[in-house]
Amino acid sequence: MFRAIREQIETVFQRDPAARSVLEIVLCYPGFHAVLLHRLAHRLYRAGWFTPARMVSQFSRTITGIEIHPGASIGRRFFIDHGMGVVIGETSEIGDDVLMYQGVTLGGTGKEHGKRHPTIGNGVVIGTGAKILGNIRIGSYAKVGAGSVVVRPVPDHSTVVGIPGRVVGGAESDPLEHGMLPDPEGQAIDDLSRRVAQLESLVRSLSDEQSAAKR
């Protein structure tokens, strides 16, 4: 237990430059509280103590604003930055070294039983407000842009943005630079605008040639 607490504190220091002291982390970081309480709730859940497990998870939700179902499986060094509004469903699986920002949902897409929530690989970064829905896999070291809605699997080392989420390239940068993510729809509109301008120029040129020929 103490090793897990120490590792979680070290993770906060590594991930958040605003962290100044161990005492500040222990007292003031809801993501830290939510992860540790989930470890307890998950142990109870695995032991078959379902109602006490849900009670722990609901207590955690009340004090942190982060809702993690006790059935969710979470790897080591998981860090939730700020965290308000995060929802992680029952059959979610999260790998090691995952960074998640506030407002993220790992949700299902129906009422079916069995595996119905996402699987998140190692080293994934999930931006603010992203929604990852259904029994899909987000590959290791992928990055999910803020506000994206992802309903299809994402390969390893990819960056996905948009609604619905589209893979727009690799995930070379670290951490996720929300203001520098590509905008595929914006790029398509820019390309169309340039093409229209070229066609208008061509039409004007042909019109001028016809006018000159008539003279």
Whole-number pLDDT of residue 203: 85
Whole-number pLDDT of residue 72: 95
Whole-number pLDDT of residue 176: 59
Q: What 8-state DSSP symbol labels residue 126?
A: E
Nearest CA among 174, 209, 197, 203 for reference residue 98: 174
pLDDT, tens digit (0-9, with 9 covering 90-100), for 55-96: 999 999 999 999 999 999 999 999 999 889 999 999 999 999
Percent of the chain with pLDDT over 90: 55
117 vs 109: CA distance, rounded Å: 8
Q: Which DSSP helix (H) or strand (E) runs through 40?
A: helix 30-46
pLDDT, tens digit (0-9, with 9 covering 90-100), for 16-53: 888 889 999 999 899 999 999 999 999 999 999 999 99
Domain extents in the chain: 2-182, 183-215
Q: Are 26 and 93 in contact (CB under 8 A)?
A: no
Q: Are 168 and 184 in contact (CB under 8 A)?
A: yes
Q: Are 124 and 150 in contact (CB under 8 A)?
A: no
Amino acid, single-letter form, for residue 121: G
| pLDDT of residue 174 exceeding 60 | no
Domain 2-182 fold is UDP N-Acetylglucosamine Acyltransferase; domain 1 (2.160.10)
pLDDT, tens digit (0-9, with 9 covering 90-100), for 117-173: 999 999 999 999 999 999 999 999 999 998 899 999 999 999 999 888 888 876 555
Backbone Cα Rg of the chain: 23
Whole-number pLDDT of residue 36: 93
Q: What's the predicted TM-score (pTM) here?
A: 0.77
